[in-house]
């Protein structure tokens, strides 16, 4: 199956919400409290995604037009670590993980940030996230650690960053060619 990476539009909110909720439930089962995962609803996430800034989200869709993944990005929110860009979120449905879509989404984000004159990119990832190794394959710098609290439970997370976006983009392209 072929997958297309494109900028999101407001009409994508419902499908992005499904990917968001379903990927949280598959990724964080056994990590985040079941009650929290069960409380996630498509409707509440859709409301959050209805005001999508089309310049800050890429989606991956299959050849049937179904969204199977997305990545949200923009300016680094804290301004504390010397990075100007941030990958806020990237989520894929379980059935399309390990197919190269995540790498293609990160490359689209990196290239868009470069186009907007950003120099660097940071992301936060929960240490217990089984996909943490995905990011580590692209040789990020470990920036800092913090605790992210969900429903009163602290989860250790790490900020990873790339200070040279063109170098990251080139590394992502090389990986793409090796598949």
**Residues of the chain above pLDDT 70, percent:** 97
Q: Which CATH number belongs to the domain containing residue 36 in this structure?
A: 3.40.630.30
Q: What is the mean pLDDT of the chain?
A: 93
Structure tokens at 171: 């590394």
Q: Per this entry, what is the length of the chain?
A: 179
- State residue 176's pLDDT score: 56
- State residue 51's pLDDT score: 80
Query: What is the number of H-type helices and E-type strands within the chain?
Result: 6, 7
131-160 residue pLDDT tens: 999 999 999 999 999 999 998 899 999 999
What mean pLDDT do residues 88-98 have?
95
Confidence label for 179 from pLDDT (cuts 50, 70 and 90):
very low
Query: Residue 18 pLDDT > 90, yes or no?
Result: yes
42-86 residue pLDDT tens: 999 999 898 878 789 999 999 999 999 999 999 999 999 999 999
The Cα–Cα gap between 59 and 69 comes to: 6
Structural domains of the chain, count: 1
Please enumerate in sequence order all residues whose Cβ is within 8 A of that of 111, keeping only pairs 6 or more positions apart, or say none. Answer: 169
More confident residue, 161 or 51: 161
Tell me the Ramachandran region of residue 145: left when phi exceeds 0, alpha when psi lies from -120 to 50, beta otherwise. beta
Instruction: Indicate whether this model's pTM tops 0.85.
Output: yes
Query: Residue 178 pLDDT > 70, yes or no?
Result: no
- State residue 175's pLDDT score: 61
Query: Residue 122 pLDDT > 80, yes or no?
Result: yes
Q: Within 13 Å and on the Cβ side, how many CA atoms surround 3?
A: 21
The Cα–Cα gap between 42 and 18 comes to: 6
CB atoms within 10 A of CB 165: 23
Could you list the residue range(s) of the whole structural domain that residue 17 is in?
Answer: 3-177
Please enumerate in sequence order all residues whose Cβ is within 8 A of that of 73, keeping only pairs 6 or more positions apart, or say none. Answer: 56, 57, 58, 85, 86, 87, 88, 109, 112, 113, 121
- State residue 53's pLDDT score: 84
What mean pLDDT do residues 96-125 have?
96
């Amino acid at each position: 199956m072929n997958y297309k990476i494109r900028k999101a539009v407001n009409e994508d909110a419902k499908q992005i919400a499904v990917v968001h909720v379903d990927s949280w439930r598959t990724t964080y089962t056994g990590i985040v409290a079941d009650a929290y995962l069960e409380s996630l609803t498509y409707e509440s996430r859709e409301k959050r995604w209805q005001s999508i800034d089309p310049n800050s989200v890429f989606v991956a869709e299959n050849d049937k037009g179904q969204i199977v993944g997305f990545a949200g990005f923009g300016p680094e929110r804290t301004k504390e670590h010397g990075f100007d860009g941030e990958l806020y979120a990237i989520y894929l449905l379980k059935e399309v993980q390990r197919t190269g879509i995540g790498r293609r989404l990160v490359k689209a984000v990196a290239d868009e940030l470069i186009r907007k004159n950003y120099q660097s990119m940071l992301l936060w990832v929960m240490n217990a996230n089984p996909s943490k190794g995905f990011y580590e394959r692209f040789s990020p710098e470990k920036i800092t650690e913090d605790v992210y609290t969900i429903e009163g439970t602290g989860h250790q997370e790490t900020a990873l960053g790339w200070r040279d976006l063109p170098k990251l983009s080139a590394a992502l392209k090389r990986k793409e060619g090796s598949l």
